[in-house]
Structure 1
Amino acid sequence: MPPSIGRNRLKLHVLLAYRAGPALQGARHVTTATETRKFEAEVAQVLHLVTHSLYSHKEIFLRELVSNASDACDKLRFEAIGKPELLGGEGELHIEVSWDKAARTITVRDNGIGMDRDEVVANIGSIASSGTRRFLEALGSEQKADARLIGQFGVGFYSAFVVADRVTLLTRRAGSAPEAGVKWESDGRGEYTLEPATVPERGTTVVLHLKEGEDEFLDGWKLRSLIRKYSDHIAFPIRMPGETAGKEGGEAGPGWETVNDASALWTRPKHEISDEEYRSFYKSLGQDFNDPAAWTHNRVEGNQNFTTLLYLPSQVPFDLLMGGRDERKGLKLYIKRVFIMDAAQELLPQYLRFVRGVVDSDDLPLNVSREILQQNRQLERIRGACVKRVLDLIEKLSREEPEKFAAFLKAFGNTLKEGIAEDPPNRERIARLLRFASTRGEGAAQTVSLDDYIGRMAPGQGAIWYVTAESHAAAAGSPQLEAFRAKGIEVLLMYDRIDEWMVSHLREYAGKPLRHIAKGELPLDEAEKKKQEEATEAARPLLERLKRLLGERVEEVRVSARLTDSPSCLALDEYAMAPHLVRLLREAGQPVPESRPTLEINPQHALVRRLEATADDAQATDLALLLLEQAELTAGAQLADPAAFVQRVNRLLAA
């Protein structure tokens, strides 16, 4: 693993959620000169907002800096597996927090991996502009914006400027000489200085020179309480000066004492962990300042031993909301409490990317690489167990806390639907968790499960019927529903963009096929078939005339068995894409095969009768095109020539 801090949740920078931009790339350089540099423009904006606008939850700065230090120790522990010399014989990895009332400073020090000059520039002086812009936009959209956004966006190091008017950083990378150290300093107003420094010990020291009015943090009891509140689970000792270390808290020596449990929370027995500790640990994982919706903590023993602690978020974390499918996400992977990977995507499939948590295995080889991870059979077993635990947890939430479950589906339902295609072995389990509006409900908020639907199917009904559209109103107003309403058959209303793609993979559920009400022929009994044949024969001259007037714009014109009130609708082939999906794909620049629809008409409707009675071919053409275009509109298609449509409507209204 390269020494990039961004891969390891080091919150010294916004790269926790966003990749570094092109400005960070290029050859490394070596310099011994002291230099002053300007922050990138958007970094300066972040610093200004952090310094002047984010005043609630000031205490967040200590959690973030301690988390940085923990990540640096984790990273060194991992790199030392292959290079034991990096440890250099120094004692255990640890974090120190001290304060000096006279100098009005707080110091956070770790003996972790440290940074060289180029890493300091890349990780503190620059931020990917796209990520920062989203951060700034989020601040602008929140009337009560506060330091919670720091945790959500991962701008951890910059949280120091909430309480400090000057920050000094001293760092030396493990394995380098003492004189290879770097000193970084800034007042957060747009510039920072870099200069060489002799740093006797590896690691990073951050010194906060506090602003006036922030004296509450120059108190040992206050700092201890914050560490226990936010960082008690950190797996490294967090040390502070004890009673014998002096009143100012800045002296090192035998008076240092450990103030946290220094025990990874997931390694403790479940009965010893309170709900508040579970919630606190979830927030420490980063990207979310809200309580989780639910969690599951399990220890598996046998041929393979591993522990999982998995969380369902209650709201969409910003990294998932902004990053999309391609943003690297996943669970934290440990092997015997040795940190291996921050975003182990191999542990969960993409459709469960919203899950947060930790997996700690006793059995995976410590020298495992990413390539080996992808092929490792033991890892496949862990992945299967994680998927099962998550789906079990969602099912439990649906049974025991329906309100929380409804909120969870609102946030992550569409992401979960991806599993219908991506995880065939669990397809039925995933489908059981989904909820849809239906023609039996009142509005989009009232939803049903597929099991609910099957439980109240009409006698003799052999399929689960559904319709897809671009909105709930469009689905509920679809003319194809008319015959189903007349027969009292319930239809599921699907209007999320992913639904058309999802149901193309969900062919059946519990032995019942899923069928789109606009696709293929409707199943009719013998009496209905006879009535349909008679209506078709009676309307044959009209059908032939319509086909001639519409020409190549339609594949076929036929009498509809779907309509009772509307004049026309589109009918699709069994495997054709719905018109609204075709429109969305074209708008996204995706190629879509050309196809011609089938137009179905209701011969009893006044508009169709008017066309049948019209001898004027010009007016008949207007009426025929109007029948087709209104059918296209109700199906969600985009008209090729909206202006011509308006002119036709005006001519017919004026006639």
Structure 2
Amino acid sequence: MSETATINKETRGFQSEVKQLLHLMINSLYSNKEIFLRELISNASDASDKLRFQALSNPDLYQGDVDLGVRLSFDETTSTLTVSDNGIGMSRDDVIEHLGTIAKSGTAEFFSKLSAEQSKDSQLIGQFGVGFYSAFIVAKAVTVRTRSALSSSSGVQWHSLGEGEYTIEDVNKKSRGTDIILHMREEGKEFLNEWRLREVIGKYSDHIGIPVFVMTKVKDEKGKETEETKWEQINKAKALWTRNKSDLKAEEYQEFYKHVSHDFADPLIWSHNRVEGKNDYISLLYIPAKAPWDMMNRDRKSGLKLYVQRVFIMDDADQLLPSYLRFVRGLVDSNDLPLNVSREILQDNKVTQSLRSACTKRVLSMLENLAKSNTEKYQIFWKEFGLVMKEGPAEDFANKEKISGLLRFTSTQVDSSDQTVSLSAYIERMKEDQEKIYYLTADSYAAAKNSPHLEQFYAKGIEVILMVDRIDEWLMNYLTEFNGKKFQSITKAGLDLSKFEDKEKEEKQKETEEEFRSVIDRTKEYLGDRVKEVRTTFKLLTTPAVVVTDDFEMGTQMAKLLEASGQDVPKVKYIFEINPKNELVKRMADEADEEVFGRWVEVLFGQAMLTERGSVEDPSQFLSAINKLLAEVE
């Protein structure tokens, strides 16, 4: 192949993130350096898939060559290894976009994760889809020559030493596709060997759906190598998902996952299914072991690839799964969709809706089985993807009960912030006369565990679910009951635990409430419009006072959530509840001086607001009341 540089040569600098990544690639992944070949072959396979799809509407793109494949050749004299494909290729803009940037991230979060722990760098790098850069593990320089099947340009050459910059120029390249030429380091020369290449391809790329060829020397009749060469196919070149499950090993499924996801870690679990009937399709769905860095971005696309009759149609087919399952990787191959399907048709197609429903149920069943069979593995899943799963009840009403059964929280029953408690387990431990699932939302586990709202529940031995994620308050707007049991927030005014009290104690509380009426009236007069109501409470043991909201009033955590998102939130009007048994409250009640009485109210109300919201409306007024009371202490 003769290719000569022509015009339009320029030198560009990498994004700063690329420089750091290349350093990490060379220094953190060296112990697993053979993965560079897997990544380059996977990219070549993707390029062929994309050409097939484009050729459905424009067969001329094949340029007379419909035999797609990947070809590997090496030259020991020049210490180069070349990986070539005749796929879709890249234009100049494509090269700049894909080889000069990384995952289009440009964010500080990207590298705060990458540099958090050196031991995890390989896993983290895999989460950003940056397999091409693994070439620099073994190469001191990389040259890419490419020509786009969609462009009339002659070709583009990209070259870099893997340091601060790269050059890009126009070249004469007669055929479409991409050649990646690796100028090997001394320690990378082991791959300038036919049998080493065969070994790596057999290990990582046997499942690729296009043939992978290696340049090999022809042998004479006596078995001696000659100077003549030929291309020899190394892999089966049959799409893995079309093969029988009984013929596949776990290692093959794991390697195929790494191909479709560009992840470096093995998946947690997977499910391979062939469905025949009203709709014929094959699905191969994976649950990753690690969450990608942008998992909480709801605009993030699904990780499913769509094939129709073995022809690749699109990456990130987000119509096939709801948003809360956007962490799932894999593919769906349908026999019922038209080959020229567009995103618009896909959105409205009844077959697509059926596939979406089936894939969703399949993923939820996978997770249900995992939760039952392997608690330890399910906890790994929950730590990585629990926050996303909590979006489910609001988004997927049809499967709300199934999703609710998969949710995990912490509770007063366990002495840990780890979210291990299922709603089913909570119901099994409920008291005999208990009709509701009690829960508390808070900013943190410590705030929830030490909340004064829990005092009566600890005393009565009633378990309370502690919800400490920011999304939990929003979740509870949609999760109203589970297995016939309604949820009850313990910070709401409608909470009633009278059924757990004996009659004699209840009568005494009523008497105390009447005796305390004047104190309540004085407190209400002092606070005025700052509160919705003031009343007596007997649910507290050691805490002097708390604030609660009406059943239909916006809760504290929801108000914080909306404020954090920049929305205008109406002021929450609290009900101020006072514990008449508390010594500070008794001292306040005995105070005849209305000015001093007001200071006590200010202090107790401020404490209650700090506990509930973490702040007071007027800190100076609160501190002034405290200081004046302290000054009066003899």
Is the pair's TM-score, using the shorter chain for normalization, greater than 0.5? yes
Residue of structure 1 equivalent to 2:55: 80
Does residue 257 in structure 1 map to residue 232 in structure 2? yes
1:495 deviates by 1.3
**Secondary structure, counterpart of 2:88 in structure 1:** coil
Could you say if the C-alpha distance between residues 358 and 519 of structure 1 is closer, same or farther in structure 2, counting changes exceeding 3 Å? Answer: same
Whole-Å separation in 2 of the counterparts to 1:133 and 1:485: 44
Residue of structure 2 equivalent to 1:577: 554
1:478 deviates by 1.7
Question: Aligned partner of 1:37: which letter?
Answer: T
Could you say if the C-alpha distance between residues 613 and 101 of structure 1 is closer, same or farther in structure 2, counting changes exceeding 3 Å? Answer: same
Query: Which whole-Å deviations, capped at 9, do the CAs of 1:615-648 have from their partners, x for residues lacking one?
Result: 2222211210111121122223422233443343
Residue of structure 1 equivalent to 2:373: 400
Query: Which whole-Å deviations, capped at 9, do the CAs of 1:286-316 have from their partners, x for residues lacking one?
Result: 3532222211111110121001111112221
Question: Aligned partner of 1:608: which letter?
Answer: V
Query: Which whole-Å deviations, capped at 9, do the CAs of 1:78-103 have from their partners, x for residues lacking one?
Result: 00000011112214111101111111
Could you say if the C-alpha distance between residues 148 and 406 of structure 1 is closer, same or farther in structure 2, counting changes exceeding 3 Å? Answer: closer
**Secondary structure, counterpart of 2:130 in structure 1:** coil
Residue of structure 1 equivalent to 2:33: 58
Decide which of 452, 464, 469 is 1:491's aligned counterpart.
464
Could you say if the C-alpha distance between residues 195 and 467 of structure 1 is closer, same or farther in structure 2, counting changes exceeding 3 Å? Answer: closer
**Secondary structure, counterpart of 2:209 in structure 1:** coil
1:651 deviates by 2.9
**Secondary structure, counterpart of 1:214 in structure 2:** helix
Could you say if the C-alpha distance between residues 245 and 423 of structure 1 is closer, same or farther in structure 2, counting changes exceeding 3 Å? Answer: farther
Whole-Å separation in 2 of the counterparts to 1:644 and 1:250: 94
Question: Aligned partner of 1:226: which letter?
Answer: V
**TM-score, scaled relative to structure 2:** 0.92
Could you say if the C-alpha distance between residues 448 and 115 of structure 1 is closer, same or farther in structure 2, counting changes exceeding 3 Å? Answer: closer
Residue of structure 2 equivalent to 1:157: 132
Residue of structure 1 equivalent to 2:203: 229
Unpaired segments ≥5 residues, structure 2: none
Could you say if the C-alpha distance between residues 414 and 184 of structure 1 is closer, same or farther in structure 2, counting changes exceeding 3 Å? Answer: closer
Could you say if the C-alpha distance between residues 581 and 162 of structure 1 is closer, same or farther in structure 2, counting changes exceeding 3 Å? Answer: same
Does residue 648 in structure 1 map to residue 617 in structure 2? no
Any conservation in 2 of the 1:565–1:605 contact (CA below 8 Å)?
Answer: yes
Could you say if the C-alpha distance between residues 67 and 252 of structure 1 is closer, same or farther in structure 2, counting changes exceeding 3 Å? Answer: farther
Residue of structure 2 equivalent to 1:278: 253
Query: Which whole-Å deviations, capped at 9, do the CAs of 1:11-59 have from their partners, x for residues lacking one?
Result: xxxxxxxxxxxxxxxxxxxx96242312234134444554566533222
Residue of structure 2 equivalent to 1:215: 189
**TM-score, scaled relative to structure 1:** 0.89
Of 49-58 and 492-501, deviating more is 49-58
Could you say if the C-alpha distance between residues 145 and 599 of structure 1 is closer, same or farther in structure 2, counting changes exceeding 3 Å? Answer: closer
1:582 deviates by 2.1
Decide which of 382, 391, 398 is 1:425's aligned counterpart.
398
Alignment identity in percent? Answer: 49
Of 526-535 and 547-556, deviating more is 526-535
Any conservation in 1 of the 2:308–2:333 contact (CA below 8 Å)?
Answer: yes
Whole-Å separation in 1 of the counterparts to 2:227 and 2:322: 49
Matches within 5 A, 1:108-507: 108-127=83-102, 130-131=105-106, 133-144=108-119, 147-174=122-149, 180-244=154-218, 255-320=230-295, 324-445=297-418, 447-507=420-480
Of 641-650 and 336-345, deviating more is 641-650
Question: Aligned partner of 2:343: which letter?
Answer: R
**Secondary structure, counterpart of 2:332 in structure 1:** strand
Query: Which whole-Å deviations, capped at 9, do the CAs of 1:429-475 have from their partners, x for residues lacking one?
Result: 11111222222222323743222222232222221111111122222
Of 507-516 and 451-460, deviating more is 451-460
Residue of structure 1 equivalent to 2:611: 634
Question: Aligned partner of 1:116: which letter?
Answer: S
Decide which of 592, 609, 616 is 1:615's aligned counterpart.
592
Whole-Å separation in 1 of the counterparts to 2:375 and 2:350: 37
Question: Aligned partner of 1:552: which letter?
Answer: D
- Compute the RMSD of aligned alpha carbons: 2.6
Whole-Å separation in 2 of the counterparts to 1:599 and 1:592: 21
Give the number of aligned pairs: 621
1:133 deviates by 4.5
Could you say if the C-alpha distance between residues 270 and 558 of structure 1 is closer, same or farther in structure 2, counting changes exceeding 3 Å? Answer: same
Whole-Å separation in 2 of the counterparts to 1:607 and 1:339: 72
Query: Which whole-Å deviations, capped at 9, do the CAs of 1:578-599 have from their partners, x for residues lacking one?
Result: 3244234324422211231000
Query: Which whole-Å deviations, capped at 9, do the CAs of 1:100-159 have from their partners, x for residues lacking one?
Result: 111111000001111222322332234577436544433432234655544332222222
Any conservation in 1 of the 2:103–2:128 contact (CA below 8 Å)?
Answer: no
Residue of structure 2 equivalent to 1:509: 482
Any conservation in 1 of the 2:131–2:262 contact (CA below 8 Å)?
Answer: no
Whole-Å separation in 1 of the counterparts to 2:253 and 2:484: 40
Residue of structure 1 equivalent to 2:75: 100
Decide which of 487, 512, 522 is 2:495's aligned counterpart.
522
Question: Aligned partner of 1:67: which letter?
Answer: S
Unpaired segments ≥5 residues, structure 1: 1-30
Question: Aligned partner of 2:421: which letter?
Answer: V
Query: Which whole-Å deviations, capped at 9, do the CAs of 1:134-186 have from their partners, x for residues lacking one?
Result: 44433432234655544332222222222222222222222656x71222223
1:192 deviates by 3.0
Question: Aligned partner of 1:508: which letter?
Answer: E
Query: Which whole-Å deviations, capped at 9, do the CAs of 1:383-441 have from their partners, x for residues lacking one?
Result: 11111111111111111111111221122112111111111111111111122222222
Whole-Å separation in 2 of the counterparts to 1:53 and 1:296: 32
1:257 deviates by 1.2
Any conservation in 2 of the 1:304–1:363 contact (CA below 8 Å)?
Answer: yes
**Secondary structure, counterpart of 1:292 in structure 2:** coil
Whole-Å separation in 2 of the counterparts to 1:627 and 1:52: 58
**Secondary structure, counterpart of 1:165 in structure 2:** strand
Any conservation in 2 of the 1:115–1:171 contact (CA below 8 Å)?
Answer: yes
Any conservation in 1 of the 2:300–2:326 contact (CA below 8 Å)?
Answer: no
Whole-Å separation in 2 of the counterparts to 1:466 and 1:171: 59
Whole-Å separation in 1 of the counterparts to 2:535 and 2:92: 75
Question: Aligned partner of 2:336: which letter?
Answer: D
